[in-house]
Structure 1
Amino acid sequence: MNDMTMDRAYRPAGLARGEVLGAPVPRIDGPAKVSGTATYAYEGAEPGIAYAAIVGAPVGSGRVTAIDAAAAEALPGVLAVIHGDPRMVTGGSNSQAQAHSDTDRIFHYGQPVAIVVAVDQAVAREAATLVVVSTETGDGRFDPTAQPVQRDPDIGFLKPVEIGDVDAALAAAPVVLDRSYTTPVHFPAALEPHASTVAWADGKLLVRTSNQVIGGARRTIARALGLAAEDVRVLAPFVGGGFGGKTGVGPEVILAAIAAERVGRPVKIALPRAQTAYLVHHRSATTQRVRIGATADGRITAFAHEGVAAQNDDASFLEPIPFGSLPLYAGEARRFRTDLVRVDLPATGAVRAPGEAIGTFAVECAMDELAETLGLDPVELRRRNEPEVDPVSGKRFSTRRMLDCYDEGARAFGWAERRKRREGDWLIGHGMAAALRGNFTVKAEARVTLAGDGRAIVACDMTDIGTGTYTILAQTVAEMLGLPIAAVEVQIGDSDLPASAGSGGSFGAGSACSAAVLACEDILATLALRMNAAPEDLLLHDGVVTAGGRNVALVDLLDGAAIVATGKTGPGAETQATSQASHGAHFVEVAVHAVTGEVRVRRMLGVFDVGRVLNAKTAANQLIGGMVWGLSYALGEAAVVDLRNGHFVNPDFAEYHVAVNADVPRIDVRFIEEIDDSANPVGAKGVGELGISGAGAAVANAIHDACGVRVRDFPVTLDKLLAGLPDV
């Protein structure tokens, strides 16, 4: 096994050619998806399959006093109505499935209190409506803004940062900007619903589920059900989107397993869209205050980004609001903190780009407002405050091409030639924002088998949630072993395979591909011995191994026997010694209708520094998806809570408005590529979450440029624009 932590900057010799890795190779799993042969969690028809539906709490807080299932049990086709099992997940948090001794407490409306099992899905859902849940109603805390704020709460992974005397620096600054912003609840609404098919056999549990991190899911399921981890197998070969909402194990998985055990049959469950709002964690609503002190020429001397996020009593995640702000701009005096309010609402959790996605609304809009106050170009203000080292830790940057992103973006967008103008009733404006997403190195393993016929198999428990994992793993191994991509088979989505990082945090691709690289290096070392050469002197191409003037067919060198190697990577000294992040810049043009306030985004450009680009097509696809989501956050997405009872007013796509094709303009994505040898052996940094960082703020800044209305309570809806629009 090639077991390597990042103790030094490292570039594998086998990746020097760049003939396959990085190329815009179409997704190798694409044909299976478009032909319908890719199997998802809810598909398949096991003999004797049963179906489950969840009964939710009818109030937002209090206690369950009784459950009457008689009417449901009398419905033809109902097999069981289960409640009161101490293994049931009472809090409904997708991020932490766990049992509670306090099984009667209601943490939020819709919390699972019973599960109905029937011969088909329609019967199960009808029966669930017949279960009568009696409650003792509590005094619900449904309005986060009305709850006491807990300063420096002992939850969440991002601790407060305080450097220098921020208050004194602000008081002494010639120019001070002090603004507050709010963001609403956001849902991680993936195309594939949260679904599972579970079956027991000989005391072991097989779970086919829509999940992003199946190694963690296996441990969580085992813990919740009192099993050994090896008695649980999780399969997720295809996942139809996750966006953070599938990083943990939802209560429906545990409930389905309990149901399958009770009725002695395999059980399927899929959450209806409206129920997803209550049983899957969401992004917290936030209030944020940004204060920036600067000199008259725009040099930042003090920077404070303080926010408040919500969580219920049953979960420990706290939205890391200033996460993307920490290393973004220079300034000696610095304060970053997130405070907490406790509420009786469904759990909040990690949604795509936790912290950056919404923290950048505040910071990047504030920077735009500061530029206006100073009479500076927004790009120039950012350039003047580009730090030389990480301004929080003092560490050197592994790579940082932010200035190049600004320059290339401004050039390609035509930023210098922009001008506000009017086209009939449409007001045209432009905006920009920076993007940053922290990069992480995490533990990952991968097994590579070079078969006797010269084909290769790469295997690990990674998932592909639409990000292109199948393709980039195949490209990595093909590049290292000099094979055509068609000669590489990828096996993922099975918890019995070597443990990887899973899909989340934008660290999955770099970590899993790095483990595959290290496994391939062991294979190359074996081939080098057979060639009497050093590994770095080998050239593998078109099924031929060349070294020292000799050319040997790969299959002859293998002589019918496979070579199997496992690579293992993780963080090390280099990870600790450097500040690592992906960077970018957004440029946007919008049109605002002077009479109706309608906003149309006309074009978007993003320029990004993500280290090595593993696949130019899938990387651009991920970034475009993030930019679309930023647009959607800026103009529409907002979950509304009924403050009287803790219900979501708009728990489905009928009223939770996401961007559709008609809302999305031409989007141009470009790369500033520099391989980051400090990040991981493959030299790649996070991609997926970077695109959303700053995108919404760029839209909001462009709207202000067009019509002069500065909206600080997101999203930017018509009602917030109409009052401030200029007279026609």
Structure 2
Amino acid sequence: MSIGTAVSRVEGQAKVTGQAKFAADNTPPGTLHAALVGAPVASGRLIDVDATAALTLPGVVRVLTAHDMPRFGAVQPPAAVLALPLQNDAIRYEGEPVAIVLAESIEAAEAGRDAVLVRCERDDPILPGAATREPPPEPRMLGDDLEMGDVDAIFGTAQASVAATYIQAARHHNAMETSGTVARFEHGKLTLWDAVQASENVPLVVAAALGMRPDDIHVIAPHTGGGFGSKGYVWPHQILAAAAARVAGRPVKLHLRRHDQFVCVGYQPWMKQDIKLAATADGRLSAIDHEIVNSSAIADTHLEPASEASKTLYASPAIRTRQWLERRNINVPTPMRAPVEGPGLWALESAMDELAVALKIDPLDLRLANYAEVDPHTNKPWSSKKLREAYEEGARLYGWRTRGETPRRDGAWRIGHGMATSSMGNFRFPGGARVRLRSDGTALIEANTHDIGTGTQTVFCQIAAEELGLPIENVSIVWGDTDLHPASPVYGSSATGSTGSAIALACREINAKLDALGGKDVRASLRRANLPEMVADGAFTLPGGASFSADGDGTPYAMRTWGAIFVEVGVDPELGLVRLRRAVGAYSAGRIINPKTARSQMTGAIIWGWGKATMEESVQEPNTGGWLAKNLSNVAVPVNADIPLDIKIHFVSEYDPHASAIGTRGIGELGATGVDAAVAAAVYDAIGLRVRDLPILPGKILAGLSSQHAAAG
């Protein structure tokens, strides 16, 4: 049996020996290195780009401006940006590309960039606090407003209620590999070596921009050094690299600097959430009112539909949700690991903890009292839900029911405990794969998927090995090339369920063919049929031929993933420091294919959530409108010293026959949800201070405690 076995990653050796090739590792003969020149203001009009000094530098070949670039055709999603740069003189955010330096080396390109002079006519930018709210444009992929029941009337007669505002800072993905594209034209065909999470999307967008046929664009992208959503959509640098290669008549490598990552691709937006909960005296919710606003760009739109969590998590008879945008002179945001429910649960689960304290009910018991047996707003049954078991086992492993018996101080540290529910929608995409079973008893998977560090290639080999009855060492995979069989993207925690199902379906077709030949003895059956191999294509499709499905759209079932996170923190009230001491996560996420890679994913997700809760913040400078920090020296993220060894992960035994052909649901983002709310609850438990503005920095703790002391007299 291969599924359920802890298997090490099949691509691991290539990575640690340096054999794995990432986008920027490709340098075709004659390659020019590109560097982007960004606008120095956040709003205004470009007057002139003076490249005279840059062109005198050794190695600098050309400096391209809007005058040199082709007029791009209209692009549509999955393009992240519809108002493409280098097309006119409008400046909409600081760092918007206004020129491209092409040189014989990256050093020469960077020197040339520094020598380019940009003159602008500056307008006053729309900054945080000055923007007005507006409804998001229709149609929405997620986040439709909901009005269920008479919310206002219920709040007027509620026995108990809480109302609070929760804020989370913008923050950038900062993957280890910055985004980059190498573009080469040959005989009218375009090859792109790209850092992406869905290379099937790239030809559609680049072809529309450059007036090409998508079939004439070949994308090679096996290894991607982290994405977290920032490499999911198609960004302008991918189009600009291809356009520059066409204009220059030579291959072009455009590999974004860390500085460029802050302005040339997306980030998680700033969000403000107002939430009110009404309940009976025994804690049963009678109404949820959740209003969200997220920052977005002037010319492009990203909606962060955080209301989805409040629609689905608890059995409330009345639910109202509303979504708003606040447009600023800043580049457009994008999904970030655990979008939608990640932000939404920060507000909802924090409010639930406040309600539990107000009613003097254990926070876990409050959640159990409001357990949703069906989807609250559609009344559809769940495809599978074992959240009760996750609550129970997580609480047991943590010692939640006996936490009051443990010490509350450790030297200068005050000890606090907190918990929250974790949940994510179950995103599904059409998936495909080709499987070859050879007469020597080996199998090969061909699928245009990508390695972003999650272990999907290993999981895919395990699925094929299980279905074909082969040892896993007899199964291999080739991936990361649009010449291969199309596969689903590697975002939205969807790859295992979608492409993994396609692999399983292809294997089942092979098994049926073997049965028709007289059995599953591969060598004997194929030899009798005089076949060197047997080939089958598998396709995982969605109802109605849809290209995307969230939460079971188009099926009789509601589909989500579930879990519970329990954390213990230490707070030093004299210094305002918060330290994670231990954590337990228990999850209901369908069948677990590889417990080793799955546990790694959830541990990393909890660490990710800790960073969001206590460290990470991208600040938009309040005067100029640009990002205050644009490199890693100014970005705080968790390191080994911040994370304890005591992190336990538990998966409930589960098989979901409705979510996928292999019983799985997504896990990669689930573990990042709820962590921030659990941490804030633990801080309150430790020192009696509510922090409703992420991240929970020392200054906020010290200021809050000071205010408490002043109010107390």
Query: What band does the TM-score fall into relative to the shorter chain?
Result: over 0.9
SS at match of 1:517: helix
Counterpart among 8, 18, 37 of residue 55 in structure 1: 37
Which residue of 65, 69, 73 corresponds with 2:55?
A: 73
Give 1:554 shift. 5.5
CA shift digits 1:609-654 (9 cap, x unpaired):
1101111111111111111111000001000111211111112211
Alignment partner of 1:633 out of 596, 607, 612: 612
Q: CA deviation at 1:135?
A: 1.5
Residue type of the partner of 2:303?
A: L
Structure 1 residue 553: Cα displacement: 4.3
1:690 matched to 2:670? The reply is yes
Equivalent residue for 1:448, pick from 428, 435, 438: 435
Match of 2:401 in 1: 416
| TM-score normalised over the length of structure 2 | 0.94
Shift of 1:297: 0.2
CA distance 1:289–1:697, change in 2 (3 Å): same
Distance 1:594 1:488 in 2: 55
1:703 alignment counterpart: 683
| CA 184–94 in structure 1, closer or farther in 2 if over 3 Å, else same | farther
Q: Which residue of the partner structure matches residue 175 of structure 1?
A: 160
Q: Is the 8 A contact 1:155 1:316 kept in 2?
A: no
| Aligned residue number for residue 563 of structure 1 | 534
User: Structure 1 residues 314, 93: closer, same or farther in 2, change over 3 A?
Assistant: farther
519-528 or 90-99: bigger deviation: 90-99
Give the Cα–Cα distance (whole angstroms) in 2 for the partners of residues 445 and 466 of structure 1: 20
Provide the alpha-carbon RMSD of the alignment: 2.0
Please say if residues 78 and 201 of structure 2, whose CA atoms lie closer than 8 Å, have aligned partners that are also in contact. no
Contact 2:71 2:87 in 1 (8 A): no
The 5 Å alignment of 1:512-523 reads 512-523=499-510
Distance 1:642 1:101 in 2: 24
**Within 2, Cα distance between the matches of 1:27 and 1:508?**
16
In the alignment, the residues of structure 2 paired with residue 373 and residue 462 of structure 1 have an alpha-carbon distance, to the nearest angstrom, of 49
**Displacement of 1:608 after TM fit?**
0.6
Q: Which has the higher contact order (CA 8 A, sep 6+)?
A: 1
8 Å CA contact 1:235, 1:493 repeated in 2 = yes
Letter of the 1:578 counterpart: Y
Residue 578 (structure 2) aligned to one of 599, 604, 609: 599
User: 381-390 or 620-629: which moved more?
Assistant: 620-629
Amino acid at match of 2:667: V
Pairing 1:132-281 to 2, within 5 Å after superposition:
132-143=117-128, 145-151=129-135, 153-154=137-138, 156-157=140-141, 158-281=143-266
The one-letter code of the counterpart of 2:175 is A
- Secondary structure at the residue paired with 1:126? helix
What's the counterpart of residue 24 of structure 1? 6
Match of 2:515 among 516, 519, 528: 528
**Structure 1: runs of 5+ lacking an equivalent:** 1-18, 532-537, 546-551
CA contact (8 A) 2:27 2:182 kept: no
Q: Pick from 338, 341, 345: which aligns with 2:323?
A: 338
1:468 aligns with 2:439: no
Q: Report the CA distance between 1:423 and its aligned residue.
A: 1.7
Other-structure match for 1:622: 601
Report the Cα distance in structure 2 between the residues aligned to 1:97 and 1:502, rounded to whole angstroms.
Answer: 21
Matched, 1:388 2:373: yes
For 2:8, the aligned partner's letter is P
Q: Once the 2 structures are TM-superposed, how far is the Cα of residue 529 of structure 1 from its aligned partner? A: 0.5
1:657-676 aligned at under 5 Å gives the runs 657-666=636-645, 667-676=647-656
Q: Secondary structure at the match of 2:324?
A: strand
Give me the whole-angstrom Cα distance separating, in 1, the residues matched to 2:542 and 2:683.
42
Deviations 1:290-328 (A, max 9, x none): 100000000000011111011113323211122223211
Q: Structure 1 residue aligned with 2:268, among 258, 283, 286? A: 283
Aligned residues: 692
Q: Do the aligned residues in 1 keep the contact of 2:434 with 2:536 (CA within 8 Å)?
A: yes
- Cα distance in 1, alignment partners of residues 598 and 289 from structure 2: 33
How far is the alpha carbon of 1:96 from its aligned partner?
A: 3.3
Secondary structure class of the residue paired with 1:310: strand
How far is the alpha carbon of 1:558 from its aligned partner?
A: 5.7
**Structure 2 Cα separation of the partners of residues 483 and 97 of structure 1:** 47
Partner deviation per Cα, 1:550-584 (whole Å, 9 max, x = no partner): xx746545644211111111222875211001100
Equivalent residue, structure 1, for 2:15: 33
| Correspondence for 1:10 | none
Distance 1:227 1:99, change over 3 A: farther
Match of 1:367 in 2: 352
Which residue matches 1:534?
none
**Counterpart amino acid of 2:460?**
L
1:402 aligns with 2:387: yes
Classify the secondary structure of the residue corresponding to 1:214: coil
Q: 1:493 maps to which residue?
A: 480
Rounded to whole Å, the distance in 1 between the matches of 2:73 and 2:168 is: 29
Which residue of structure 1 aligns with residue 445 of structure 2?
Answer: 458
Give 1:480 shift.
0.7
Distance 1:153 1:220 in 2: 21
